[in-house]
Amino acid sequence: MNNPKQIAGEKAAEYIENGMCVGLGTGSTAYFAIQKIGQRVKEEGLQVKCLATSKESEQLAKELNIPIYTFDEIKELDVTIDGADEVDKNYNLIKGGGGALLREKIIAYITKHYIIIADESKVVDTLGKFHLPVEVVQFGWQITFSHLQQLGCIPKLREKNNEVFITDNGNYILDCDFTEIKNPKTLQANIHAVPGVVEVGLFIERVNTLIVGHKDGSIEVKSIK
């Protein structure tokens, strides 16, 4: 049986070349890309310098002997491979289902070739069915919550294992149900204007290549810009 996440992740790992600086994404699709890069490091002696978008991916990379660097050592990335929660017809994204949106966005914006990998269920006409993750500081989060509500959504403080979820950066996440996001750019600007917001899980006009894995085992590769 085909795993669409696995075929997309493994396909993306083919884009990595010797000597590249690579951003490693987070989540169950990025997992397969990292595994494949690890395999290439082991079997082909592939040489890469990597930055990870979460502690979890950093740990996985270290277990696979993929060299991890810091922002003191790497200022620009040749390629980043990351997953997404939704991809719309203009290749705008919702990310942050795994809670790593802030690090993912910092890494996305220093990347020359940004590759998004997804299974077919992530492709939508309009963003918004997936609740938009917004990372907020803990201080006064109830006020930030109210301000976000006033933008027309139903926010929910994220929990994990019956405890409030805390990001790798020590913040909270408010998952905001907007039902339909017709203008992601305006919404991003409006959310960023709310005090207490650290980052919003909208990734706009950023994708260079989209790789979608299908249940029938086929792969779609779209070059965007």
Q: Count of alpha carbons within 13 Å of 61, Cβ hemisphere only?
A: 25
| Active site members | 104
For the bound state, the minimum distance from the C-beta of residue 206 to ligand 5RP, rounded and expressed in Å, comes to 13
Q: Is 131 helix (H, G, I), strand (E, B) or coil?
A: coil
The pair of structure tokens assigned to 19 is 């000597």
For the bound state, the minimum distance from the C-beta of residue 64 to ligand 5RP, rounded and expressed in Å, comes to 18
For the bound state, the minimum distance from the C-beta of residue 58 to ligand 5RP, rounded and expressed in Å, comes to 14
Residue nearer to ligand 5RP on the CB measure, 18 or 119: 119
Window 29 to 48, contacts with ligand 5RP (CB under 6 A): 29-30
Residue nearer to ligand 5RP on the CB measure, 42 or 222: 222
Window 82 to 121, contacts with ligand 5RP (CB under 6 A): 82-85, 95-101, 104
Residue nearer to ligand 5RP on the CB measure, 17 or 188: 188
Using CB under 6 A as the binding rule, whether residue 4 contacts ligand 5RP is answered as no
Terminal CA-to-CA distance of the chain, rounded, Å? Answer: 33
Q: Would you give the binding string for ligand 5RP spanning residues 5-34, x where CB under 6 A is met?
A: --------------------xxxxxx----
Distance in angstroms (rounded) separating the CA atoms of residues 28 and 40: 19
Counting every residue, how long is the chain?
Answer: 225
Distance in angstroms (rounded) separating the CA atoms of residues 96 and 155: 14
Beta strands, E only, the chain: 20-24, 48-52, 77-82, 86-87, 93-94, 111-119, 132-136, 154-157, 159-160, 163-164, 172-177, 197-200, 202-203, 209-213, 219-223
**Segment interacting with ligand 5RP (CB under 6 A) among 77-85, 134-142, 161-169, 184-192:** 77-85
Interface contacts to ligand 5RP, rule CB under 6 A: 25-30, 82-85, 95-101, 104
